[in-house]
Amino acid sequence: MADMRNKVAIVTGASRGLGRAIALELVGLGAKVVVNYRSSQVAAEEVLESIHKRGGEALAVQADVSVFADAQRLIDTAVQHWGRLDVLVNNAGTRHDTLLIRMSEQDWDEVVNTNLKGVFNCTKAAQRVMIKQRYGRIVNITSVAGLAGNAGQANYSAAKAGVIGFTKAVAKEVGSRNITVNAVAPGYVPTELTAGLPPELVAKGLEMTPLGRAGTPEDIAKAVAFLASDDAGFITGQVLSVDGGLVMQG
């Protein structure tokens, strides 16, 4: 099991779903965690309560990662509080699904700004700290949609594919400073984010998944924790599909 004692981590979009599970997993391994949220303060405080009950250290920070000034403040808060930043998990995401012919410019912009620009904003702010430390682990949450595409999700698929390209480019830029940059591509995982998917799409996805089941937030969290740990110190620029084999069927 990875040991993350004395490590400081930020998890964006950590008030619910995958982000919540990732924050709890990292705390369980000994990390101090910043629980970022955009609007769900009550949910973020519930995550803090769960962490504190487990004897972990955490703080909640409101920030809209699609705005660079907010992302910078998020990073600065972690460093001011704990003196360093070892792990950044870019998890914050949103969806506005519809066929391209019906997709509004706002539908496109909101999804791309949160899912892709948010990754740029947080990574740019965090890498200054990590370069100075000569240590860092960045894990970006992409999606099977970014690898194979999904009808009705041109905006989401494009943003998540962009995250993959971004991951590989930045991994090449910062590798010499002992900073790794990787991505995790979940398959279908029931969360608030996926709750609005059409039932027939979910059924088809499960039918095409060789393991024959949906994923859990904990499945994703464990993969993220591995890539964020020193056990993955020689892995960078990679996309780890945690999808029960779904992407093989694409």
Specify which residues 33 forms β-bridges with. Answer: 9, 58
Beta bridge partners of 242: 186
CB count in 10 Å sphere of residue 106: 9
Cα 145 from Cα 55, distance rounded (Å): 37
User: Would you give the DSSP letter of residue 249?
Assistant: G
In the three-class reduction of DSSP (H, G, I as helix; E, B as strand; rest coil), residue 76 is classed as: helix
Strands 179-186 and 239-242: parallel
Just list the catalytic residues. 156
Distance CA 137, CA 26 (A): 13
Question: Are residues 179 and 187 in contact, defined by beta-carbon separation less than 8 angstroms?
Answer: no
> Is the distance from CB of 167 to CB of 90 less than 8 angstroms?
no
Two tokens at 16?
A: 């619910």
The answer to whether the CB of 90 falls within 8 A of the CB of 141 is: yes
What whole-number distance in Å separates Cα of residue 225 and Cα of residue 217?
A: 12
> Which helix (H) or strand (E) is 242 found in, with range?
strand 239-242
